[in-house]
Amino acid sequence: MIKRFLIADDHAIFREGIKQVIASTSGQAMVEEAATGVEAVKKVAANRYDLVLLDISMPGRNGLDILMELKRIRPEVAVVMLSMYPEEQYAIRAFRAGASGYVTKGCSPGELLTAMQRVMSGKKYVSPALAEVLVSTEGGGEKPLHMDLSNREYQVLCMLASGKTLSRVAAELTLSIKTVSTHRAHLLKKMNLQNNAELTRYALEHQLV
C-alpha cells in the first residue's frame, strides 16, 4: 500500500532532505510539498495523508496555529512537528495542540524515521529528552507564567530573549514591526515584566533559551 506524505516547510533544501529519508524506506510512498501554511491547510483539506511533517516556524503564521487548523479540518491526521528549537521550548505546546510527534531539525535520519513509523502506527513519538521534560512539567505545582502566553507571544518571547531585535523578529516571522511590538507589550503585561532585560532573565531562569 502506498503511503502518502505531506512535507510543509518553507525551505526547499530541507524538504528535499526529508524526501530522501522517506525514499530510504522499503515501502512505496507518494510525497507532496507545501512551502507555506496556507498551502499546507489547502492540501490537507483536499487530500488524505498518512502523515504530515510540519515546520513549527512557517512564514506568516505560527506552526502551532497551523497545526490546530489542520486538526480542526481533519482530526484524524497524524502530524509530526519539525523544529529548529530545543524540545523543551515548543514540544509541550505542540502535543497539546494535537501533534503526534516532535523532532528537532538536528535529529538523525534514523530518529526521524523512528518518529514517523511510530506515529503512523497510531502512537506518539517522545524522545527520551522530551520524556523527562513532560514528566517534570506535568507533574503538578505552580504553572510557569509563560504557559499562559499565546503561541505567537511565546515565539516572540523566545526570539527576543535570544537577543534578536524587533526588526529581526519581524523579518523572520514575516510580520510588521508594529505587530511584533504589540505581541511584546502583551507578553510583558501578562508576565508582569518591565523590559527586555527582565524578559531575558526570565527566559534564562526557565531554560527557554
pLDDT tens profile 46-92 = 999 999 999 988 877 788 889 999 999 999 999 999 988 766 667 88
Predicted confidence (pLDDT) per residue in 20-51, tens digit: 999 887 678 899 999 999 999 999 999 999 99
| Nearest partner of 31 among 10, 9, 54, 52, judged by Cα | 52
Farthest-apart Cα atoms in the chain, separation: 57
| Cβ–Cβ < 8 Å for 97, 67 | yes
For the segment 117-157, what is each residue's pLDDT rounded down to a tens digit?
Answer: 999 999 999 877 677 666 665 555 567 788 788 888 888 99
C-alpha span between 201 and 87 (Å, rounded): 20
Task: Identify how many contiguous H helices and E strands the chain contains and give both numbers.
Answer: 10, 5
**Is residue 3 predicted with pLDDT exceeding 70?**
yes
Measure the CA–CA gap between 185 and 195, rounded to whole angstroms.
9
Delineate the domains of the chain, giving CATH numbers in brackets: 3-137 (3.40.50.2300), 145-205 (1.10.10.10)
The three cell numbers of residue 112 are 526521524
Closest by CA position to 177, among listed 190, 164, 162, 167: 167
User: By C-alpha distance, which of 40, 61, 62 is closest to 52?
Assistant: 40
Distances (CA, A) of 110 to 87, 103, 198: 17, 11, 40
Task: Express each pLDDT in 158-208 by its tens digit.
Answer: 889 888 999 999 988 888 999 999 999 999 999 999 999 999 998 888 877
Beta strands per DSSP E along the chain: 3-8, 29-34, 51-55, 79-83, 101-104
Q: What is the pLDDT of residue 127?
A: 78
Residue 116, pLDDT score: 93
- Rounded distance between C-alpha atoms, residue 125 and residue 185, angstroms: 35
Q: How far apart are CA 181 and CA 13, in angstroms?
A: 32
Residue-level pLDDT at 83: 86
pLDDT at 185: 94
